[in-house]
Amino acid sequence: SRHNRRINIVYTIIMSSTSEEKKIDPMPTTAESSTMPLIEKAPTPLRICCYGSSSSRTPKKYTDAAYNLGYHLAQRGHTCVNGAGNAGCMAAMNRGANDGDGAIVGVIHEAFVVDGSDWFEGAHSVFNTTKHRIITAKGNDLQERKKLLVQGADGLVVLPGGPGTWDELWEMACARHIGFHAMPIVCVNVDGYYDNFKSILVRAHEDELLYKQPE
């Protein structure tokens, strides 16, 4: 089915770039980025929504994984949709996707518009060009922004992050559980970061609080 094919494609994206069985390549310097390997385009381009940290204190092992993910998404011909951040996993992924000559869509709240201009506080510098797109969410909370991030997405990829990332992840996991969407959700489990997340799901299933066995 199209859904199963989509799941396989999303897993292939992740496992080819950030598998725990493979050593994650360190994020290259600006000079080195031009020598990154070329990767074959995917037969079906996808729109992939990505969550992850936006903290400047994010450990390097996580930003390396984020860069690799962004680069592989771009080289495979997929569109990377994220929160447009200029720090942490978001920044590394945006740089990777840009270095991979891919398309990036950033979704940012109108509260971060700078003095009514066309620029946004906290947005990554890759959005300075017309190559990538910024979507502005409105409202007095983050609900519209969350909807715009996943609108039209074929898959959801979650990098290591803090409470904001967990909030987005759990909301989409809940929505999938009750049937509001069938989008595959893939956690990039760098250094076992999401082991406890999986343990909670397994425990909930064992205690019959989760109807379906965690994948």
* In contact, 106 and 78? CB cutoff 8 Å: no
What pTM value is reported for the model? 0.79
Q: What pLDDT tens digit does each residue of the chain (215 aa) get?
A: 444 555 444 444 444 444 444 445 566 665 455 556 678 888 889 999 999 998 999 999 999 999 999 999 999 999 999 988 788 999 999 999 999 999 999 888 777 664 444 445 556 667 677 678 888 788 888 889 899 999 999 999 999 999 999 999 999 999 988 889 989 999 999 999 999 998 998 999 999 998 878 77
| Residue 95 CB neighbours (<10 A) | 24
| Residue 9 CB neighbours (<10 A) | 20
135 CB-side CA count, 13 A: 16
Contacts of 184 by beta carbon, 8 Å cutoff, 6+ apart: 6, 7, 10, 11, 155, 156
- Amino acid at residue number 130: T
Q: 52 by DSSP, 3-state: which?
A: coil
- Amino acid at residue number 3: H
**The dihedral of CA 49, 55, 56, 60: what is its sign?**
negative
DSSP 118: S
Tokens of 37: 């390997």
DSSP 116: T
166 CB-side CA count, 13 A: 7
